[in-house]
């Protein structure tokens, strides 16, 4: 890591994305924190226009700062979608300063918005890892977990209702099955007495013999 004067209100330290710049002293809103510097490239020169790295800071259509030099401590400042600093670009002087747009406390990481073009070219393909985007991802993951839990509970309730319905139907079938033999016995009774095959034959014989006795009494008379 580069050597930084102890009088400076920042230090290079480990960040979520690798290295970052962190405040070591309170930094007031509006304060100039650090200058972003490096060789000035002339985009009208083909050899300079073809230089490509992720530390290029475009001043205007012609001039660009190549901030890849090790001495440029500002190159360690990471992007944030909701930053606590911003770039103060001065094209005529070919200078860029990073200023605080919020009060920054010791230990906080210093960050600024790299701009739409840089975001699309370098950050969007791999996913932005700034605090704001991490919070969004955590929120989405929490919502997805809650939705999965809701669907699981819904499925469990549905399965429970189905099981209860099947249990009621089985219980009803058992009651019906028990009631059927009793009905059959009731149909086999006559005047409160159960009749077997012999009883039915005797009863039929008695009914057939009754007219003969009546006819005999009529002849005697």
Kindly indicate the confidence band of residue 207, based on its pLDDT and cuts at 50, 70 and 90.
low
- Whether residue 38 contacts residue 2, with contact meaning beta carbons closer than 8 Å, is answered with no
Indicate if 19 and 107 belong to the same structural domain: yes
> What is the model's pLDDT at position 215?
47
Mean pLDDT, the chain, rounded, equals 84
Is 32 inside a domain boundary?
yes
Kindly indicate the confidence band of residue 219, based on its pLDDT and cuts at 50, 70 and 90.
very low
Q: Which residue has the higher pLDDT, 202 or 12?
A: 12
Indicate if 175 and 202 belong to the same structural domain: yes
Is 2 inside a domain boundary?
no
Last residue of a domain, one of 126, 159, 180: 126
> What is the model's pLDDT at position 198?
53
What percent of the chain has a predicted confidence (pLDDT) above 70? 81
Indicate if 122 and 15 belong to the same structural domain: yes
> What is the model's pLDDT at position 190?
46
Is 105 inside a domain boundary?
yes
Indicate if 25 and 53 belong to the same structural domain: yes
Indicate if 119 and 161 belong to the same structural domain: no
> Which range (19-33, 74-88, 98-112, 179-193) has the least confidence?
179-193
Mean pLDDT across the stretch 93-97?
A: 95
* CATH code at position 59: 2.170.270.10
Mean pLDDT across the stretch 47-71?
A: 92
What percent of the chain has a predicted confidence (pLDDT) above 90? 50
> What is the model's pLDDT at position 143?
87
Q: Which residue has the higher pLDDT, 75 or 182?
A: 75
How do residues 140-193 score in pLDDT, each as one tens digit? 888 888 989 889 999 999 999 999 888 888 888 888 887 765 554 545 554 545
Q: What's the pTM?
A: 0.65
> What is the model's pLDDT at position 197?
52
Indicate if 112 and 160 belong to the same structural domain: no
Indicate if 197 and 108 belong to the same structural domain: no
Last residue of a domain, one of 126, 151, 183: 126
Mean pLDDT across the stretch 95-118?
A: 95
Indicate if 29 and 113 belong to the same structural domain: yes
Kindly indicate the confidence band of residue 202, based on its pLDDT and cuts at 50, 70 and 90.
low
Overall number of domains in the chain = 2
Indicate if 77 and 140 belong to the same structural domain: no
Its domain, for residue 18, covers 10-126
Last residue of a domain, one of 79, 99, 126: 126
């Amino acid at each position: 890591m580069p050597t930084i004067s102890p009088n400076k209100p920042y230090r290079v330290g480990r960040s979520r994305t690798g290295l970052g710049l962190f405040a070591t002293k309170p930094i007031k809103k509006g304060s100039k924190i650090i200058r972003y510097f490096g060789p000035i490239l002339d985009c009208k020169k083909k050899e300079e226009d073809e230089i490509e790295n992720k530390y290029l800071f475009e001043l205007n259509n012609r001039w660009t700062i190549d901030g890849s030099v090790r001495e440029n401590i500002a190159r360690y400042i990471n992007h944030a979608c909701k930053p606590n600093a911003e770039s103060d670009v001065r094209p005529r002087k070919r200078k860029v300063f990073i200023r605080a747009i919020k009060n920054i406390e010791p230990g906080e990481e210093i960050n600024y918005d790299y701009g739409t073009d840089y975001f699309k070219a370098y950050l969007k393909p791999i996913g932005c890892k700034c605090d704001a985007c991490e919070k969004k991802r955590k929120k989405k993951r929490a919502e997805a977990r809650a939705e999965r839990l809701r669907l699981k509970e819904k499925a469990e309730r549905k399965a429970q209702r189905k099981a209860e319905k099947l249990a009621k139907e089985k219980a009803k079938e058992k009651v019906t099955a028990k009631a059927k033999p009793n009905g059959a016995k009731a149909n086999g009774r006559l005047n409160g007495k159960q009749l077997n095959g012999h009883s039915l034959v005797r009863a039929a014989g008695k009914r057939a013999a009754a007219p003969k006795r009546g006819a005999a009494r009529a002849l005697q008379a």
